[in-house]
Amino acid sequence: MTTPTPERTAQLDRIDRAILAHLVDDGRSSLADLAEAVSISASSAQRRLRRLETDGVIRGYRAVLDPDAIGRSLVVHLSVVLVDHTGDTVGRFERWIVGLDGLVSCHHVTGDVDYLLRVDVADVHALDVLLRQTLAQVPGVARFTTMVATSALVDRFADM
């Protein structure tokens, strides 16, 4: 992940920001629709879009799946604390976590915990398996806290 800098942010003008806002709402928008939405020509929209992609501002495009339709309707947030912060412990945990089935996001954070995860699972049984047979077995994990989402006030990816 790229760290934002004032110089990098300053390169985005009003039109770039409008393009990004439009694509967040409709990533499959045609070039003509994008150009019309931000009031520029299609060729200008294409040049700007290519620059935003080349500069890494737009990192990719993806399908947003309905969790119910794919059997992962239980949204779980986990905070994880490691036993220590040695390179071996951190590396082992990070290598393990990237392959976790149902992982939506994992952030290394400051504060009382080391990592915050979002994992989408099928049901409470799948959560139990995740916790007891998977996470609890990872060397270097001191403790974890589980929070099950009961509703979503804002979920930008689900709203697309």
Domains, the chain, ranges and CATH? Answer: 6-54 (1.10.10.10), 74-148 (3.30.70.920)
pLDDT in tens, 90-99: 999 999 999 8
List, for the chain, all residue ranges whose pLDDT scores fall below the cut of 50: 160
Q: What phi and psi values does residue 55 have, to the nearest 5 degrees?
A: -75, -5
What is the overall mean pLDDT for the chain? 90
pLDDT in tens, 15-31: 999 999 999 888 999 99
pLDDT of residue 146: 96
Cα separation, 83 vs 69, in Å, equals 37
- The answer to whether 55 and 62 are in contact (CB under 8 A) is no
Percent of the chain having pLDDT more than 70? 91
Q: Of 116, 132, 124, nearest to 74 (Cα)?
A: 124
Q: What phi and psi values does residue 9 have, to the nearest 5 degrees?
A: -65, -35
pLDDT of residue 118: 95
pLDDT of residue 53: 94
Cα separation, 98 vs 45, in Å, equals 35
* Beta-bridge partner residues of 117: 78, 106
pLDDT of residue 144: 95
pLDDT of residue 8: 55
